[in-house]
Amino acid sequence: MPVFAWIIIVTFISGVVGTGLGGLIGCIARRDSSRVVSLFLSFAGGVMLAIVCFDLITEALAPSGEGSLRYLPPTICGLLVGYLTVFALNRVIDNNTNKEVPHIDKDHPATADDLGELIHSDHYSHHRESGDWREMFVAGIIMACAIALHNLPEGMVIGVSYTGAENVMDRAGLVMAVVIGLHNIPEGMAVSVPLISGGMSRVRAVLVTALSGSPTILGALIGYGLGGLGPAALCLALSFAAGAMIYVVFGELIPEAVLMWRSKTPAFAILVGMIVGLIVIYV
């Protein structure tokens, strides 16, 4: 199978199926499973961190096979642009969800500190008591659109990971697709819960949630195409993808994991994830 076709299949599973699975879980999720979700997020963050540091960035610094200081400035620029792009997209999400209900105040954590907040079931309770369902539905639509944009750079990570791959089972690209797919599950939950709470049927809510993951495919094709334009383009594409993932790890996964379970265990899960990432890269 051509690598190009394989990338479409892998990113469809990672983006559409992963996000849609989160939407399905959001319909039936238990609200007392914060510790399990915390470990899951921590492990995924560790795997991502290992691939970013020991694969994406190292390849960005030596896109032609040999390291050179001339690739250091574009690598730094790519890291900054990737980081700031995902940061801006997440600001859109936060500005349209965190301020939606009055329990968010200046002393409240900026990131979800329990599963109810991560999937906005606490917002559901508020609107159920107040009788105002419209705001919940609008919040779900905004979340779906924001996460659709958010999935574009994540797809680029998968596409760039397959640049230069000799076969479709390239481990780095495949593992990154799996990890991003796992990361998409709580995002899918965050979309489906407010949609269902706002009156949309469960089937439609899951379908809308799954569709919000479809830009992952476009992002992967863009990343794969950029990576094949030459060493300079590959350097920028790899560093952009690395910057995007650095924000996902340190701006989303780890803060949410630690806030949901205030113990040392999430840190150990991060270490385990990094070890798994290293094994995938070098073994």
pLDDT at 31 over 60: no
Tokens read off for 265: 């265990």
pLDDT at 25 over 80: no
- Look at residues 192, 200, 232, 249 and name the one whose alpha carbon lies nearest to residue 18: 192
Q: Specify the pLDDT at position 114.
A: 67
**Contact predicate 19/147, CB 8 Å:** yes
Other CB atoms within 10 Å distance of the CB of residue 69: 7
Q: Specify the pLDDT at position 20.
A: 86
**Residues 6+ away with beta carbon under 8 Å from 212:** 19, 144, 145, 147, 148, 151, 188, 191
- Round to the nearest angstrom and report the end-to-end CA distance of the chain: 24
pTM above 0.85, yes or no: no
Query: 64-113: per-residue pLDDT in tens?
Result: 776 667 889 999 999 999 999 888 877 876 676 655 566 666 676 666 66
- Look at residues 218, 213, 219, 223 and name the one whose alpha carbon lies nearest to residue 187: 213
Query: 201-221: per-residue pLDDT in tens?
Result: 888 888 888 888 898 999 888
pLDDT at 222 over 70: yes
**Gap between the Cα atoms of 214 and 36, Å rounded:** 27
Query: 128-183: per-residue pLDDT in tens?
Result: 666 565 666 666 677 677 777 778 888 888 888 777 666 666 666 777 788 888 77
* Average of per-residue pLDDT across 43-65: 85
Average pLDDT across the chain, whole number: 79
